[in-house]
Each structure stands twice: as C-alpha cells, then as structure tokens.
C-alpha cells in the first residue's frame, strides 16, 4: 500500500555543489501549521539547512558543508504537525533518521544514525559522523528552523533556482502524437522501447564510431533497490524518470542526476515475482502530464509527472489470489505487474506476471488489459488462456486452464496503421511437467495480435506448443519491414527462448521463417503454417537448455543496417570455460547471421541499443559460475560495438551486473548514454 509520504525528497548539499529536489507536500488546510514559506536553521557543526515550501512542492539545501557531497533525503512523512524523513550516505552504509514538529514559526528536528550490518562507520569529516565530537553533531542532536532564510541558506536556494532555470526546459505534456512520432524529438525517450515498434534504435549520432572511445562518466545515481535494477528510464525534456525496485519512482535532472522528486510505494507483504530477484520493475510510461507504474502487488498507479503526487490507484488483480498462492508458501508468486506500461491512444496497457509454478492446480490465468489513462478504469481485458466455449479452450485438459499461467510480463508493441497491439506470453503452469495440462495449451508461448480499441484477438502464433522446457515467449515484438521472397512484408521479428529467430507477417500472423540462433535439436522442420515438427529424442536431451538462448531482455533493429540484434547465452554441461555470452546480428530479410561477438564465462544479460551512428551498446552480467572453484562474480561490463561488424570499440567495468537495457538521450546538445550496473544508474557522455 502507498506510504503516507507527502514530502518525497529533500537534499543536503554543499554550497559548492548545490542541488535541489521538488516534491509534493501536504499543506495544512488552515491554522498555524501551514508549511508554506522559507525556513532556515544553523547546526552546531556550522552547516545551514534551508527548506522552502509552497502549495505543492518543497525544496531543501545545506550550505557550508564542504566535507560532504550531495545527500538525498527521502522516505519523508508529514502527519498533522510532525515531520519525519531519512537521508542515506551515497554508499548506502549509513542512514540518518530525522523527526520533529512544526508550528507557525518554528520547525524542531532531532536525528539518529544507523549503520547497516557490515557497513562502514563514518569518517571524521563526514556529514554522517554523529559522534559527540564538538565539531560534529553534538548531543542533544537538535536543530531549530525559523521562518526567514537569509544569509548562506538563501544564497544556496538562489543558486538552485538559477541552475534549474538554466538546465531544464519547461515541462510540455507528452501527447500520444508525440509518442507516435518519437523520431521528431530524438533527444527524448518517451516510451519503454523509445518507439512503439519496439526497435530500440535512436537517431542520435553525436556519439559515433570515431569518438566513442572518449565516452566518460557524466554522472552516477545510486539507488537502494531491493531487487535487480532492471528499469529503462524515460527522458522528457531534460527530466529522467526511473524506478528503484520494487516501486519507488525518481525524477532526476537528466544532466546532473539531481533529484527533483520521489514517490515511494510499498507493495503488500507477500507480493513477489518469479524473476528479477523477486522484486523487479522495468520502468514507467507517460501520457500528458501523468506517469504510470505497475506495482508488485498488481496495482496500476498514476502520478503527476511534475510533482510526483498520486492521482489514482487501480487494483487490477489480487496478488494473494488463493488460486495461485500456495497455502504454506505466502511468498509464492501470484499476480504482479513488473513491466513498463505501454501507452496506446488514451489507454494504458498492462500484462500480468506470476505465470510460473510447479504445483498442479495453483497458478495465475494470464491477461493483458487496457485502462483509461484519465480515470484508471479498466476498458477491456484479454485473457491469455481461453475459457470454456472460446476457441482454444480444448487445448487444456480438465480444469487446467483456470490456473495455467501464460503470463504477459514484458511490454508489447503497437502498429498504428493496423491498430494492433502485439504481446508475448509466458509458459504454461506447471512449468516443467505438462502431465496435468494435456494439449497445446493455447495461448501460452505465443505472440498475440490484439485490436487496440477492444482487445479482440486478431491472430496468434504459438512458438512452442505444450511447453515443459520453460521456453516462455515474453519478449518485446519488434516491428520492421523486410524483403521476403521478392516482396516487402510488414514483419514482426522476435528471438525466442526455444533457440529460434522468427519473422511473421504482422497483419495476419503468417509464418515467414524461423532460423536457429543457438545450438538446438528439438525441432526437425516446420509445416507451411509454421507449426514445429519435433524430434523423437527424449525431452531430457533437448537443447537449448533452460538457461541458454535469450531471455526477456529486449533486442534491437537498426533501419540503417537492416540487422536484427539479439543477446544470447550458451550454457554448457561440460563446466566452466565452455559457456559464453553472445551478441549476434542477423539480416532481417533472410535470418542469416552476419556477425557474433562472444565473451567467455559471462552473459550479455541486458537488452540492446543501436544508434544512427552505427553503434551498438549492451551490458554483461557477472552472475555466472566460472573458474576452478565455480565462484559467483559481479563483474558487469558495458560495451560499445560497431553495429555493422561487431568490432569492440569501448568498454567500462561497472562493478555490478547489468540487468537493464541501455538507452540514450540528449540535453542542451550533449548526447548521454545511460545504463544500470548493480544498483547504480551510470550516465556517460563524450569527454569535453
């Protein structure tokens, strides 16, 4: 459920590096407790805290504190006449908890320090040193703020205001027409895949093959994510929006990383997903002046993009439904939202995750649903498993359809000319034993083409009938025109976990081709309609293995090269040294492999970004067992390749695994490339 937080982010900063955060604040409706105005207090250690509040936002800064870098305050709450908030050191080891009361003319605060288990104690000159030293936070640790704000505090606020005016353009509502024609504003990243066709290709070209070696870190933002940092940020006119797992939204200055506002949401106890460490979130969507986020407990939230204020909260499914929650396992996965929403016209499109499990009779019934962007009201729902009387229900034995899984947990794509939404579906449940769900199990392991206005099923294609290899098909469908058999086709491209790269005709679902991109032996041929004819080998001998092939990480298509780019992995049973990660380029017209870039003993477990300057960016993960002692490593690298040849041009170690997909944007004429590594967001630009 949402916290009672109404002040979402303040900042402690040095005068030399003043930053700002703006965030919604609940103002007292009447009486002496109203916060509106400017407040200032001088601490015993010589630093000054200034707060400035109006009807909707609050800003804060500290001056004369040169020993400490900018420190963000979050998790704040205003209740009646009390204020509480925390600030955490940049390394995450130390947290100060502030609490106090306010009246018409005074705010009185006290604070305490907590060092996490195994964390470092503060250095003598650190803002977080709360020892009894007379030069630091002395006992009692109190600070009184008065109305006013003259002197150093006012100067800090003036600098903040000047910086904000200079660096960030005025907010302009993001209409659906802007999203639909994203190539008209290549400096922004307005939807999960940048464009609705899922291509993840940017027209930006300032960073190019000749200068990419000069990429350097522009800024870094440390999150305190409780799960893998998998979100792809949005960038809208100089503001970057991202999600700290599981469900905290941050608006950052896209040039500096300064926090503008935060919104925190605490999912209900027991909410959990099957992947991403159990608590993933892959991003937000925007329409007009509203941000949208799905939550781990299957809510859909709408927030004011300017302030972070909650607008509405829709419960889309029961995260604790007894049909999927095992009685003795309260943290078993059930209904959840983990992907970034897709905006189509005036609708927010979401699909549920939770489609994994091993117990017959327990599981979700997957769905894709559309919600009104203004109100949150559900407009239509398309279940990924048909009910009795609907086409395809006879592909499930008995009542297995009721809990058959087929989640829809990765963002889809949209073709405005056909008015069709394309969405991939996950594996059936139980995951690895199909004996209780005989039949093809439609529409699991499929891509669905849905009418955008009604959710009606136009066509489907099932990649793996009756899957019990965990080859779910939750991938971003990529829409591109290809030449096939002498004709230009409006195609849908996808690389599947079953080891095959597919091209389908996206108007009808007609099968064009399927080509192996990793070693496989389970399929012998295809019928004219694209149904696989499987081998007679026992399934215990089928390859690719469950952890080989690609996963959910989005591919990319470059209109410049005509290549389709896929990250993949090959895991060998022969032990370390024989497994590897690949990024591969395929001719989209034929499915022919053009080049492969390989790294031993690591995986390219991120999505792919390409640019108009023939660059390809991708990240690697360290959660791979290797070496003589099979140790787990966290050694993620971020690399840039020549998109035409696969040649390595640049790389940086990020220290932690890369689980997100790179993206790029531009502010004030400078191109930035962003990616997560571990729990940090890294943003690079050309060294000046």
Residue 352 CA neighbour count, 13 Å, CB half: 33
pTM of the model: 0.79
Is 473 in a helix, a strand, or coil? coil
pLDDT recorded at residue 43: 66
Instruction: Measure Cα distances from 345 to 189, 190, 370, 390 in Å.
Output: 17, 14, 11, 28
HEC string for 483-508: EECCEEEEEEEEECCCCEEEEEECCC
Mean pLDDT of 619-640: 63
**Residue 29 banded pLDDT, cuts 50, 70, 90:** very low
Mean pLDDT of 471-485: 95
Q: Which of 620, 615, 622 is nearest to 664 (CA)?
A: 615
Mean pLDDT of 565-585: 77
User: What does DSSP assign to residue 148?
Assistant: -
Mean pLDDT of 278-307: 95
pLDDT recorded at residue 627: 42
> What would the pLDDT profile of 53-84 be if each residue is shown by its tens digit?
655 455 555 543 333 344 445 555 666 777 77
**Other residues' Cβ atoms within 10 Å of the Cβ of residue 483:** 14
> What would the pLDDT profile of 306-360 be if each residue is shown by its tens digit?
999 999 999 999 998 888 888 877 777 899 999 999 999 999 999 999 888 878 8
Distance, CA of 182 to CA of 178 (rounded, Å): 6
pLDDT recorded at residue 517: 94
Are 477 and 413 spatial neighbours (Cβ–Cβ below 8 Å)?
yes
**Other residues' Cβ atoms within 10 Å of the Cβ of residue 327:** 8
* 470 is a catalytic site residue: yes
pLDDT recorded at residue 339: 96
Look at residue 572 and tell me whether its pLDDT is greater than 80.
no
Look at residue 16 and tell me whether its pLDDT is greater than 50.
no
Look at residue 411 and tell me whether its pLDDT is greater than 80.
yes
Q: Which of 334, 366, 356 is nearest to 429 (CA)?
A: 356
Q: Which of 93, 126, 470, 481 is catalytic?
A: 470
Buried b (16+ CB within 10 A) or exposed e, 305-324: bbbbbbbbebebbebbbeeb
Mean pLDDT of 3-16: 30
Mean pLDDT of 287-314: 96
Pairing state of beta strands 58-63 and 106-115? unpaired
pLDDT recorded at residue 59: 53
Distance, CA of 197 to CA of 180 (rounded, Å): 9
Look at residue 510 and tell me whether its pLDDT is greater than 80.
yes
Show me where the domains of the chain are located: 10-167, 176-262+273-575+583-686
User: What does DSSP assign to residue 270?
Assistant: T
Are 50 and 69 spatial neighbours (Cβ–Cβ below 8 Å)?
no
Distance, CA of 52 to CA of 36 (rounded, Å): 7
Distance, CA of 255 to CA of 257 (rounded, Å): 6
For residues 372 and 56, which has the higher predicted lDDT (pLDDT)?
372
**Residue 147 banded pLDDT, cuts 50, 70, 90:** confident
Cis? peptide before 140, omega within 30° of 0: yes
pLDDT recorded at residue 340: 97
> Of all residues in the chain, what percent carry a pLDDT higher than 90?
55
pLDDT recorded at residue 75: 55
Exposed, middle or buried: residue 56 (CB in 10 Å: 0-12, 13-18, 19+)? Answer: middle
Look at residue 24 and tell me whether its pLDDT is greater than 50.
no
Are 242 and 680 spatial neighbours (Cβ–Cβ below 8 Å)?
no
pLDDT recorded at residue 120: 54
Look at residue 380 and tell me whether its pLDDT is greater than 60.
yes
Of the listed ranges 9-13, 232-236, 238-242, the least confidently predicted one is: 9-13
Mean pLDDT of 613-623: 87
pLDDT recorded at residue 631: 45
Look at residue 20 and tell me whether its pLDDT is greater than 50.
no
> What would the pLDDT profile of 124-146 be if each residue is shown by its tens digit?
444 445 443 333 333 456 788 88
Chain mean pLDDT for the chain:
82
Are 115 and 94 spatial neighbours (Cβ–Cβ below 8 Å)?
yes
**Residue 576 banded pLDDT, cuts 50, 70, 90:** low
Distance, CA of 513 to CA of 587 (rounded, Å): 12
Distance, CA of 684 to CA of 664 (rounded, Å): 9
Mean pLDDT of 616-625: 76
Q: To which residue do tokens 């990319």 refer?
A: 556
pLDDT recorded at residue 603: 78
User: Where are the strands (E) in 542-589, listed by range?
Assistant: 556-557, 563-570, 580-587
pLDDT recorded at residue 558: 98
**Residue 596 banded pLDDT, cuts 50, 70, 90:** very high
For residues 687 and 527, which has the higher predicted lDDT (pLDDT)?
527
pLDDT recorded at residue 347: 98
pLDDT recorded at residue 276: 65
Q: Which CATH superfamily is domain 176-262+273-575+583-686 in?
A: Quinoprotein alcohol dehydrogenase-like superfamily (2.140.10.10)
pLDDT recorded at residue 33: 44
Look at residue 578 and tell me whether its pLDDT is greater than 90.
no
Q: Which of 19, 25, 21, 22 is nearest to 5 (CA)?
A: 25
Structure tokens at 189: 């990243």
């Amino acid at each position: 459920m949402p916290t009672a937080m109404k002040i979402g982010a303040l900042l402690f900063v040095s005068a030399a590096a003043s930053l700002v955060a703006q965030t919604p604040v609940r103002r007292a409706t009447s009486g002496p407790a109203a916060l509106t105005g400017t407040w200032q207090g001088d601490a015993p250690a010589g630093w000054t805290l200034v707060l400035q509040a109006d009807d909707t936002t609050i800003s804060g800064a500290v001056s004369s504190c040169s020993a400490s870098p900018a420190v963000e305050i979050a998790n704040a709450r205003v209740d009646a006449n009390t204020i509480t908030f925390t600030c955490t050191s940049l390394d995450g080891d130390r947290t100060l908890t502030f609490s106090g009361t306010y009246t018409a003319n005074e705010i009185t605060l006290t604070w305490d320090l907590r060092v996490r288990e195994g964390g470092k104690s503060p250095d003598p000159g650190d803002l977080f040193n709360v020892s009894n030293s007379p030069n630091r936070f002395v006992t009692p640790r109190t600070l009184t703020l008065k109305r006013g704000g003259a002197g150093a505090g006012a100067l800090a606020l003036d600098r903040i205001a000047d910086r904000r005016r200079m660096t960030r353009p005025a907010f302009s509502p993001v209409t659906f027409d802007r999203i639909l024609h994203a190539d008209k504003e290549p400096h922004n990243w307005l939807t999960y895949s940048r464009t609705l066709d899922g291509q993840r290709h940017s027209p930006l070209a300032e960073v190019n093959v000749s200068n990419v070696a000069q990429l350097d870190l522009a800024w870094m933002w440390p999150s305190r994510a409780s799960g893998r940092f998998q979100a792809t940020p949005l960038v809208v006119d100089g503001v970057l929006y991202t999600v700290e797992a599981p469900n905290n939204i941050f608006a950052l200055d896209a040039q500096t990383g300064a926090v503008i506002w935060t919104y925190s949401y605490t999912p209900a106890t027991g909410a959990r997903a099957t992947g991403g460490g159990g608590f993933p979130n892959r991003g937000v969507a925007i329409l007009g002046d509203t941000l949208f986020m799905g939550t781990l407990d299957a809510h859909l939230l709408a927030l004011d993009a300017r302030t972070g204020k909650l607008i509405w909260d829709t419960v889309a499914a029961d995260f604790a439904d007894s049909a999927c929650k095992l009685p003795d396992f309260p943290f078993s996965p059930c209904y959840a939202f983990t992907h970034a929403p897709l905006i189509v016209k005036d609708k927010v499109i979401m699909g549920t995750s939770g489609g994994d499990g091993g117990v017959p009779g327990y599981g979700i019934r997957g769905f894709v649903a559309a919600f009104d962007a203004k109100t949150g009201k559900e407009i239509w729902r398309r279940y990924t498993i048909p009910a009795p009387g609907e086409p395809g229900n006879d592909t499930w034995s008995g009542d297995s359809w009721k809990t058959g899984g087929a989640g829809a947990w990765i963002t889809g794509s949209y073709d405005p000319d056909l008015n069709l939404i394309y969405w991939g579906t996950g594996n059936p449940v139980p995951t690895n034993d199909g004996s209780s769900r005989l039949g093809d199990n439609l529409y699991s392991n499929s891509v669905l083409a849905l009418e955008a206005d009604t959710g009606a099923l136009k066509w489907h294609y099932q990649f793996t009938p009756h899957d019990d290899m965990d080859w779910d098909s939750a991938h971003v469908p990529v829409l591109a025109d290809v030449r096939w058999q002498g004709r230009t086709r409006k195609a849908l491209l996808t690389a599947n976990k079953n080891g095959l790269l597919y091209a389908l005709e996206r108007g009808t679902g007609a099968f064009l081709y399927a080509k192996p991109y990793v070693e496989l032996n389970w399929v012998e041929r295809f019928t004219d309609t694209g149904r696989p004819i499987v081998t007679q080998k026992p399934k215990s001998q089928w390859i690719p293995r469950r952890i080989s092939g690609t996963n959910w990480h989005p591919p990319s298509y470059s209109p410049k090269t005509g290549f389709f780019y896929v990250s993949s992995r090959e895991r060998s049973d022969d032990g370390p040294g024989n497994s590897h990660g690949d990024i591969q380029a395929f001719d989209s017209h034929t499915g022919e492999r053009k080049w492969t870039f390989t790294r031993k003993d690591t995986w390219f477990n991120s999505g792919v970004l390409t640019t108009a300057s023939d660059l390809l960016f991708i990240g690697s993960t360290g959660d791979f067992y290797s070496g003589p002692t099979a140790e787990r490593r966290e050694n993620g690298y971020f690399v840039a390749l020549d998109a035409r040849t696969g040649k390595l041009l640049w790389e940086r170690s990020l220290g932690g695994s890369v689980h997100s997909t790179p993206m790029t944007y531009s502010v004030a004429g400078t191109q930035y490339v962003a990616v997560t590594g571990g729990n940090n967001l890294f943003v690079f630009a050309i060294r000046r």
